[in-house]
Structure formats: structure tokens, C-alpha cells
Chain A
Amino acid sequence: QSALTQPASVSGSPGQSITISCIGTSRDIGAYNYVSWYQQHPGKAPKLMIYEVTTRPSGVSNRFSGSKSGNTASLTISGLQPEDEAYYYCCSYTNILTAKTLAVFGGGTKVTV
């Protein structure tokens, strides 16, 4: 069982916007502004899309945006494109002394375009 809860799948048509939720607790998402999001295409390594809740690394399209409210983080993809079809994972920094892990991931969301 993953520590963070994501929907199994989200779908949208080209050009539409979709939002993926990531539900944590007051010990991870709620405690730190260190939420990151990763895109993974089949057979490939994950790619960092968002970190520190809202920051996009250089080279990541501004169609990807992140937000957080309380214990829930969200990733929004606007202007959906076929190449956005992939799995998306959220991740939160946490306290290794209490959580027994330093970072917790969500179970992943399959985005279908």
C-alpha cells in the first residue's frame, strides 16, 4: 500500500486540462512544501516535472503546474497532448524518524489522452 493516494487513472481529450490529486497526511504533504511530481513512459526512467510544490525544472513545459492545499497536492496538465500519455507519480519528503522512509511516493496515475 502506497503512502500517498492517487487515482488509478485520469483521461482527457487533446487540448483539455486534467488534474491529478495526491492525498497524503499531516506528516508528509501537510508538513512540508516538498512535493514533487514525476512522469514515466513505459520502459523509461521517471522524469522530474515539478518540485517544491510548484517549481518546474528547466525544460519542462509550462502546461504542467502544481499546487497544494492542506494534505492534498495536485498536478494540472493543460492543453493535453498525445505525448502526455504516461504514468504520473507524486512524492513528498517526510520525516525518516517517524515515517521510516525519507520520501514517500504515490501509487501512480495512468493518464490517457
Chain B
Amino acid sequence: EVQLVESGGGLVKPGGSLRLSCAASGFTFSPAWLTWVRQAPGKGLEWVARIKTGGPADYAAPVKGRFIISRDDSKNTVSLQMNSLKKEDEGVYYCVLGIPRHWDDAFDIWGQGTMVTVSS
């Protein structure tokens, strides 16, 4: 069974940092492109970042320069290092796997999500 399991969410003060992790299983990890999508409380979905095979990454404008997505193919994990956190970064963060050859436009497998709360 294809599975994505996020961890690392929690309460952090504005300006603080948090590192989210996503453990993947049930598929061949190394060729897959992984994406993070977030959802603010009571709001819609927002694309955050994506990492390709080998490491090239792209970021949404609101997080560029503050967030870093990385992957460890030896451990089948993808991480999201979040720095200089703002209130507007608060929400559930989902690790997402697209359909092969549709990595960026068909988000097929979603983790259960991990909640990030930014509050003093």
C-alpha cells in the first residue's frame, strides 16, 4: 500500500522554525517528485513546494526564501524546513505524491497531514 506519513508539526512562536518530515512507503521513492500542500484552518488548499528527482526544488512565492524542501532517497523521506514562521503559515501541511508523469498536476496520494500552529 502506498503511504505517506507526516510528522513534526506543533506549536511554534512567530519567527521560529519547525521541520516537517514525510516518510514514504509502498512505491519506488527515488524517481518520484514529492509536493507539500497546506491548508489554513477553515480555508482552501495552497501549493507550497515540490522537489524533483535529484533535488531541484520549486517554491510558492509566500514561502520562498524561508522554507527549504529536501529529500533523502536512502531513507525514503522528504522534509520541509520552515524558518521565520508567520501567523499565515499556520495550518495543516500535507505531503503529496502525484501520479507518475503527472507529478505536478494530479495529486493522487495524500498523507494524513500535520498541524502547524504559529502563536506566541
Contact = CB atoms under 8 A, between A and B. Distances in A.
B102 A2 contact: no
Given A36-B107, A100-B61, A91 B45 contact: yes
Interface stretch (B23-31, B68-76, B77-85, B108-116): B108-116
A103 interface: yes
B47 A52 contact: no
Given A52-B102, A102-B50, A102-B58, A107 B44 contact: yes
Interface stretch (A12-20, A43-51, A69-77, A78-86): A43-51
B44 A2 contact: yes
A1 B107 CA distance: 22
Contact of A51 (B45, B94, B105, B110): B105
Interface string A6-32: 000000000000000000000000001
Contact of B61 (A51, A101, A108): A101
A93 B35 CA distance: 13
Dominant SS at the B interface?
Answer: strand
A105 interface: yes
A89 interface: yes
B107 A91 contact: yes
Interface string B53-74: 0000010110010000000000
Interface in B9-59: 44-47, 50, 58
Contacts of A96: 58
Given A52-B102, A52-B105, A102-B104, 11 more contacts: A38-B45, A46-B107, A46-B110, A47-B110, A51-B102, A51-B105, A57-B106, A102-B47, A102-B58, A103-B47, A103-B104
Interface of A: 2, 32, 34, 36, 38, 45-48, 51-52, 57, 89, 91, 93, 96, 100-108
